[in-house]
């Protein structure tokens, strides 16, 4: 995942801001999907405000920031330490970073399987034309510019997907560039498209999907109600310097959009185990953690136990097989929580099963958890973090219960019975 900041922003100050990631809010998504996030700084001082050179007329791979960024991606792809799948490389950005993301997707479509464009002007307009689409400039104009950048790599457009997002309160970059960018990419992708039903996005927004002739989701257009010129980070992101934490969690939407709709991998070709249960019991200073997982496509190679608290645990060899139970002695008094994951014989890791907060020894135990329910589409549950996607199905986070197909047509009620733990149905 290559993430590009906007003008007057920096990578360290706004995209990846500290260990808690108070910036664009990518850390949680990186952890959930096992992604490597690259957040570089724009070299030089392009346009006088630390921008990317998105408006440069030379769009060759060897020019300016194109060369710098493609070299960065290729260095990580070639490093076996990161084990990056070359079919799952994506680029996104805000403003000049969003425009540059589209330039890169057009210049090197064989590298980028997906693009996310946040309030980005279209390729072919100048740096003085960001607030208004020039007269006579259309999606076809942008599409022709995009094809010219791709050259001999244009065939790879047939398997690329794109998401665009903008705010209805953005008066810095013309809002019309959002749907124009998406329409231009549909033209370079080729074929016919069907507009899907408009769906609400958690965080005050609407999403318009477009499907190709094969029924594959190829572009998504999100208009965020009331959002100004900013990256929509959602809860957990910062709320300053062109980053907004009060609207859509775009990193969550974008990672799910790419992961679910990537056309360069066979969905389900690398299935993961499913945790069916996990729990912790306390006897004195000893905590015993139990868990069980299933895996239809192989065997469980190992379990990993993580306990957070005064005496933390990170045990990558807690057990094997269908289930395990392991004691951890000598835990200091205090409040703990944790999770269990299972690794299959194919190396794929399950979603974590959450262990609710518990008390070891004396002290004030954690307050009882108040159960709440949420009723929404499976699509909305996943975006809100209450569920995740596996092999095209939505599964409740924590309990891993199957909620049915991941789409906007199936509605489920989930009860949150513990921190990070959801079950299908109402509260007890």
Query: If you average pLDDT over residues 361-388, what whole number do you get?
Result: 84
Query: Of all residues in the chain, what percent carry a pLDDT higher than 70?
Result: 96
Neighbour count for residue 327 (Cβ, 10 Å)? 11
Instruction: Report how far apart the first and last C-alpha atoms of the chain are (Å, whole number).
Output: 41
Q: Supply the Cα-derived Rg of the chain in whole angstroms.
A: 23
Query: If you average pLDDT over residues 327-355, what whole number do you get?
Result: 86
Separation between Cα atoms, residue 380 and residue 225, nearest integer Å: 17
379: Cβ contacts below 8 Å, ≥ 6 apart: 199, 394, 406, 407, 408
* pLDDT given for residue 271 in this prediction: 63
Separation between Cα atoms, residue 428 and residue 423, nearest integer Å: 10
List the domain boundaries for the chain. 2-261, 274-360, 372-424
- Residue 248 pLDDT grade (very low, low, confident, very high; cuts 50, 70, 90): very high
* pLDDT given for residue 406 in this prediction: 76
DSSP string, 12-47: IIIIS-TTTT-SS--HHHHHHHTPPPB-PPPPS-BT
- Residue 20 pLDDT grade (very low, low, confident, very high; cuts 50, 70, 90): low
* pLDDT given for residue 270 in this prediction: 52
Query: If you average pLDDT over residues 324-350, what whole number do you get?
Result: 88
Q: Between 357 and 182, whose confidence is greater?
A: 182
Query: If you average pLDDT over residues 212-239, what whole number do you get?
Result: 94
Three-state SS for 243? strand
Query: If you average pLDDT over residues 59-70, what whole number do you get?
Result: 92
Separation between Cα atoms, residue 161 and residue 257, nearest integer Å: 9
For residues 199, 201, 202, 203, the Cα torsion angle rounded to the nearest 10 degrees is -130
Identify each DSSP E strand in 284-328 by its residue range.
Answer: 286-294, 300-308, 313-315, 323-328
CATH, domain 2-261, list 3.10.20.810, 2.20.25.90, 3.40.50.170, 3.40.50.1820? 3.40.50.1820
* pLDDT given for residue 269 in this prediction: 46
Query: If you average pLDDT over residues 395-421, what whole number do you get?
Result: 82
Active site residue 95: yes
- Strands 411-418 and 372-377 turn out to be antiparallel
Q: Please, what's the b/e burial string for 69-105 (b: 16 or more CB within 10 A of its CB; e: otherwise)?
A: bbeebeeeeeeeeeebeeebbbbbbbbbbbbbbbbbb
Neighbour count for residue 68 (Cβ, 10 Å)? 15
* HSE (side-chain half, CA atoms, 13 Å) at 54: 33
* pLDDT given for residue 180 in this prediction: 98
Helical H segments across 248-364, by residue range: 250-261
Three-state SS for 65? helix
Q: Is the pLDDT of residue 267 over 60?
A: no
CB-based contact 288:326 (threshold 8 Å): yes
Identify each DSSP E strand in 313-377 by its residue range.
Answer: 313-315, 323-328, 334-344, 353-360, 372-377
Helix %, strand %, coil % for the chain, to 5?
Answer: 20, 35, 45
Q: Is the pLDDT of residue 97 over 80?
A: yes
Mean of per-residue pLDDT scores for the chain: 90
pTM: predicted TM-score of the whole model, two decimal places: 0.67
pLDDT digits (tens, 9 = 90+) for 286-295: 999 999 998 8
In terms of average pLDDT, the best of 85-99, 246-260, 340-354 is 85-99
Q: Is the pLDDT of residue 144 over 50?
A: yes
Which listed residue (19, 60, 78, 95) is catalytic?
95
Query: If you average pLDDT over residues 339-365, what whole number do you get?
Result: 81
CATH superfamily of 274-360: Immunoglobulins (2.60.40.10)
CB-based contact 115:254 (threshold 8 Å): no
């Amino acid at each position: 995942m290559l993430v590009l900041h906007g003008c007057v922003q920096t990578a360290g100050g706004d995209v990846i801001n500290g260990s808690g990631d108070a910036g664009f809010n990518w850390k949680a998504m990186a952890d959930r999907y096992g992604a490597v996030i690259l957040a570089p700084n724009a070299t030089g001082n392009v346009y006088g405000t630390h921008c990317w050179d998105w408006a440069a007329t030379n769009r060759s791979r060897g020019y300016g920031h194109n060369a710098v960024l493609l070299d960065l991606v290729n260095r990580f792809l070639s490093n076996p330490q990161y084990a990056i799948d070359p079919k799952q490389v994506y680029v996104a950005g805000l403003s000049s970073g969003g425009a540059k993301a589209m330039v890169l997707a057009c210049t090197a479509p064989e590298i980028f399987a997906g693009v996310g464009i946040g309030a980005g002007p279209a390729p072919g307009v100048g740096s003085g034309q960001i607030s208004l689409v020039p007269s006579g400039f259309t999606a076809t104009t942008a599409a022709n510019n995009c094809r010219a950048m791709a050259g001999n790599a244009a065939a790879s457009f047939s398997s690329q997907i794109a998401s665009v997002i903008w705010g209805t309160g953005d008066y810095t970059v013309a809002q019309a560039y959002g749907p124009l960018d998406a329409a231009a990419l549909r033209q370079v992708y080729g074929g016919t498209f069907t507009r899907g039903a408009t769906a609400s996005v958690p965080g005050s927004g609407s999403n318009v999907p477009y499907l190709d002739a094969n029924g594959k989701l190829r572009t998504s257009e999100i208009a965020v109600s009331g959002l100004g010129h900013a990256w929509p980070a959602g809860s957990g992101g910062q709320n300053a310097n062109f980053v907004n934490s009060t609207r859509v969690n775009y990193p969550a939407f974008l990672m799910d959009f790419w992961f679910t709709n990537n056309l360069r991998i066979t969905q389900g070709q690398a299935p993961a185990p499913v945790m069916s249960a996990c729990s912790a019991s306390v006897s004195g200073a000893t905590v015993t953690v139990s868990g069980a997982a299933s895996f239809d496509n192989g065997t469980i190679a190992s379990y990993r136990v993580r306990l957070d608290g005064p005496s933390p645990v990170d045990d990558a060899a807690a057990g094997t097989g269908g289930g395990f139970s392991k004691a951890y002695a000598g835990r200091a008094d205090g409040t703990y929580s944790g999770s269990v994951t299972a690794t299959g014989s194919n190396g794929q890791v399950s979603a974590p099963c959450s262990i609710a907060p518990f008390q070891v020894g004396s002290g004030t135990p954690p307050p009882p958890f108040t159960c709440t329910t949420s009723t929404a589409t499976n699509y909305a549950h996943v975006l809100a973090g209450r569920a995740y996607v596996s092999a095209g199905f939505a599964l409740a986070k924590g309990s891993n219960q199957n909620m049915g197909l991941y789409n906007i047509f199936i509605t489920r009620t989930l009860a949150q019975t513990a921190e990070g733990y959801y079950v299908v149905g109402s509260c007890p």
